[in-house]
């Protein structure tokens, strides 16, 4: 079931929401409103792209595990192009919030990855093999 594959999604989404608000508040307080919008936009852009990846990979895995790699890589390539195009258009218009947006992208990536790592460490990785009671491959031990 697709919903079961999304059990790790709430923690990174909540963490990213907190990072978005904090980034906007810090940029707005120390710089200006345009920077606050830029910082928030950067975090939002990363959150949207990571959420898209999770949804596409979960969908592909629910259809056939062999689809995960091609769909995952294709989604990654399209996201990088999308983020690059957005930032290039903003740079061509000399938008003053672009440096803060770049920092927001960094904050979004760091926040999402940290939240995902924490979630996996707390909950433990759950493979289909372990759930089905199947033997693990030779050399792999389950703790």
Give mean pLDDT in consecutive 10-residue pieces for the chain, a chain of 143 residues: 81 96 97 97 96 94 93 94 92 95 96 92 65 55 53
Residue-number span of the structural domain to which 17 is assigned = 3-120
Contact (CB, 8 A) for 42 and 103: yes
Within-domain flag for 127: no
Within-domain flag for 116: yes
Structure tokens at 90: 């903003």
Number of domains in the chain: 1
Closest CA to 12 of 96, 114, 84, 82: 114
Residue 52's pLDDT is 94
Degrees, nearest 5: CA angle 18-22-25? 145
Residue 141's pLDDT is 55
Within-domain flag for 24: yes
């Amino acid at each position: 079931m697709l919903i079961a594959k999304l059990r790790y999604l709430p923690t990174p989404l909540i963490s990213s929401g907190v990072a978005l608000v904090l980034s906007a508040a810090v940029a707005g307080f120390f710089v200006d409103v345009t920077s606050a919008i830029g910082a928030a936009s950067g975090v939002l852009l990363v959150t949207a792209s990571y959420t898209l990846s999770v949804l596409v990979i979960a969908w592909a895995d629910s259809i056939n595990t062999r689809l995960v790699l091609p769909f995952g890589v294709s989604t990654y390539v399209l996201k990088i192009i999308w983020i690059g195009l957005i930032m290039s258009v903003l740079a061509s218009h000399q938008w003053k919030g672009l440096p803060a947006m770049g920092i927001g992208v960094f904050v979004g990536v760091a926040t999402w990855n940290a939240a995902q790592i924490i979630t996996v460490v707390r909950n433990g990785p759950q493979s289909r093999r372990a759930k089905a009671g199947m033997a693990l491959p030779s050399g792999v031990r389950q703790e």
